[in-house]
Structure 1
Amino acid sequence: MAGGVSSDQWTWQENKVFETALATYNIHCIEKGEWEKLSLLVPGKSIDQIKSHFMQLLMDLEAIESDQEPLPDYKDDLFLMTKKGSRRQRQQRQ
């Protein structure tokens, strides 16, 4: 366990690297079984860990799409942002 996180757990940063790797090689890489390509972009994770993480991602997406897992309610944050403008917009107005 390095840095308090086991190799089976994924940090936020590792997740972002994984998502970027998926976007780079897209689903065709996975359909062809070319997991090695993904593993080269996700250091510190084995091919089995990457496969398992991908399967968990699919299960999460299926749960969201079937309404088993509700989406977060972001409308309040969006309302506040559009009402007041973003920080950058406020700074530009000053």
Structure 2
Amino acid sequence: MASSSTVSFQIAGTQWTRQENEKFEEALVVYERDTPDRWQNLARFVGGNKSAEDVKRYYELLLDDIIAIESGEVPCPVYTSSNSRGGMTKEEHG
């Protein structure tokens, strides 16, 4: 099984690990909108050789996703619970 840092995905031509994504989310809290050199600081915080342009593009894509979800373009998943513990039944699992 892969560790959380080795699971990766590609966003706008740049590979991101789960760990980098978590660091990005932390950095957004630390470096608020009005922070001077925000994108450079975010890139430094995230690490992984991410450039200021990489983190800015990633941020913009996430904003686009939020807008699409909130406007109803992308439906939110519906989760149902089939048993008392919230897991799938044997029949549902297949």
Q: TM-score, normalised by structure 2?
A: 0.64
Give structure 1 stretches of 5+ with no counterpart: 86-94
2:74 pairs, out of 50, 69, 76, with 69
- 1:53 offset after TM fit, Å? 0.3
RMSD: 2.8
User: Residue in 2 aligned with 1:34?
Assistant: 38
Amino acid across the alignment from 2:54: Q
Map 1:1-94 to 2 at 5 A. Answer: 8-29=14-35, 34-43=38-47, 44-74=49-79, 76-77=80-81, 83-84=84-85
State how many pairs are aligned: 77
Kindly indicate which of the two structures has a greater share of residues assigned to helix. 1
Asked if 1 retains the 8 angstrom alpha-carbon contact of 2:43 and 2:52, the reply is: yes
Q: TM-score, normalised by structure 1?
A: 0.64
Structure 1 ranges of 4+ moved more than 6 A = 3-7
Identity across aligned pairs (percent)? 36
